[in-house]
Amino acid sequence: MLPLPVLEQVRDELTDWQGGMSVMEVSHRSRDFIALAQQAEADLRDLLAIPASYRVLFMQGGATAQFSAVPLNLAATDACADYLVTGHWSQRTIAEATRFVRVNVAADEAASRYSTVPAQAALRLTPGAAYLHYTPNETIHGVEFPYVPESAGAPLVADMSSTILSRPLDVSRFGVIYAGAQKNIGPAGLAIVIVREDLVGRARADTPLVFDYRAAAEAGSMQNTPPTFAWYVAGLVFRWLKREGGLAAMAERNRMKAEMLYDAIDASSFYANPVARECRSWMNVPFRLARAELEPVFLKESEAAGLANLAGHRAVGGLRASLYNAMPAEGVEALVDFMREFERRHG
Ligand SMILES: Cc1ncc(COP(=O)(O)O)c(C=O)c1O
């Protein structure tokens, strides 16, 4: 979801953004657009309290492009990088990374069917690794790290696609944070990269221009035409977040929404969430029905009741509710009411 006030502003400004044309029609090098781009970065810096020693890049290719950009920028061809595997997206990350770097799987939660995260003490880290990569929130499995891993001196790299901006964050713990925009930020295609300055400028010589952190940093993320519309919407979302009270307020709201749904699931043997309690995601809540044959019925009836997008990802099936920032508490209440009513009729 995107916040309704943002969508309304986009609608109102669609044909006339600051005088006569759409934001999609202005030059990205125009004074007005550059001001927009700088304001968006400043607002994101405010929201996340990003230290001055970090660069903020607005890149393209979604989070998937970063699966390759990270090794290309941070690892020499003969280097080894540590990866934690906690579900679908960390597996996809490694599938790309192995094309560019020697991957050491420092932990793999396959044995729990990706319903847990590894303990710090269980990580098999490589001395001198180029970096340690992990996925703080696994969007499909609904598993979220309750702690920030210690990386034994290697830069810590995090794919925060489905958790960024859901709560305050200590950016200084990380070497690189990246996120596809289409969950808590804005339209798909854009990726936000927050990179510590000393990690900029180390890309391999054959790194494509659009993947190179230094090229992006030096050109204000305009080494080629940026996705201007996505950048504009992201900027409006950052403004909305500030008006709503910033990330502390978001955290409180998100914690409450997630608790409401997990409580409803746990209170009934009709529904089940497979994830260990201490690492349940605030953003993505997968659940199953004890009688799996009722899941298609649940989906059909929930959709008819106006509750959209509740199918689990095709990789795992079942059901999943995503509770991103823009989902109001009333949306979760409506789901919980529907679940109780569905159980009453079918339980
Ligand atoms: C955690 C995570 N990483 C990566 C991706 C892939 O993002 P994109 O489609 O922007 O490449 C997703 C998409 O849902 C995701 O949830």
Res. 251 pLDDT band, cuts 50 70 90: very high
Alpha helices in 114-154 (DSSP H): none
Mean pLDDT over residues 130-150, rounded? 98
Mean pLDDT over residues 155-170, rounded? 98
Q: Is 170 exposed, middle or buried (0-12, 13-18, 19+ CB in 10 A)?
A: exposed
- Whether residue 197 has pLDDT greater than 90: yes
Task: Go through 123-139 and write b for each residue having 16 or more CB atoms within 10 A of its CB, e for each that does not.
Answer: bebbeebbbbbbbbbbb
202 half-sphere exposure, CB direction, 13 A CA radius: 17
pLDDT (tens digit per residue) in 26-73: 999 999 999 999 999 999 999 999 999 999 999 999 999 999 999 999
| Probe residue for ligand 1, chosen from 86, 88, 89, 163 as the CB with the greatest number of ligand atoms within 8 Å | 89
* pLDDT computed for residue 315 by the predictor: 87
Q: What is the 21 CA–ligand 1 centroid distance (Å)?
A: 32
296 half-sphere exposure, CB direction, 13 A CA radius: 1
Regarding the beta carbon of 89 and ligand 1, being less than 6 Å apart is answered yes
Res. 19 pLDDT band, cuts 50 70 90: confident
Mean pLDDT over residues 267-291, rounded? 97
Average pLDDT over all residues of the chain: 97
CA 347 – CA 327 distance, rounded (Å) = 28
pLDDT (tens digit per residue) in 79-105: 999 999 999 999 999 999 999 999 999
For the chain, what percent of residues have pLDDT higher than 90? 98
CA 203 – CA 214 distance, rounded (Å) = 8
* pLDDT computed for residue 261 by the predictor: 98
Regarding the beta carbon of 62 and ligand 1, being less than 6 Å apart is answered yes
Closest CA to 174 of 187, 190, 163, 186: 163
pLDDT (tens digit per residue) in 287-304: 999 999 999 999 999 999
Considering only CA atoms, which residue is closest to atom 5 of ligand 1? 63
DSSP, residue by residue, 57-112? EEEESHHHHHHHHHHHHH--TT-EEEEEE-SHHHHHHHHHHTTTSEEEEEEEGGGG
**173: three-class secondary structure by DSSP:** helix
Q: What is the 161 CA–ligand 1 centroid distance (Å)?
A: 6
Instruction: Give the domain ranges of the chain.
Output: 4-243, 246-346
Regarding the beta carbon of 162 and ligand 1, being less than 6 Å apart is answered yes
* pLDDT computed for residue 347 by the predictor: 84
| Probe residue for ligand 1, chosen from 59, 60, 64 as the CB with the greatest number of ligand atoms within 8 Å | 64
pLDDT (tens digit per residue) in 102-116: 999 999 999 999 999
Cβ atoms of residues 54 and 194 within 8 Å: yes
Mean pLDDT over residues 256-262, rounded? 98
312's tokens: 């689990």
For domain 4-243, give the CATH number: 3.40.640.10
166's tokens: 């859901």
* pLDDT computed for residue 20 by the predictor: 85
Report domain 246-346's class. alpha beta
Closest CA to 64 of 94, 34, 42: 94
Which helix (H) or strand (E) is 48 found in, with range?
helix 31-48
149's tokens: 């891993």
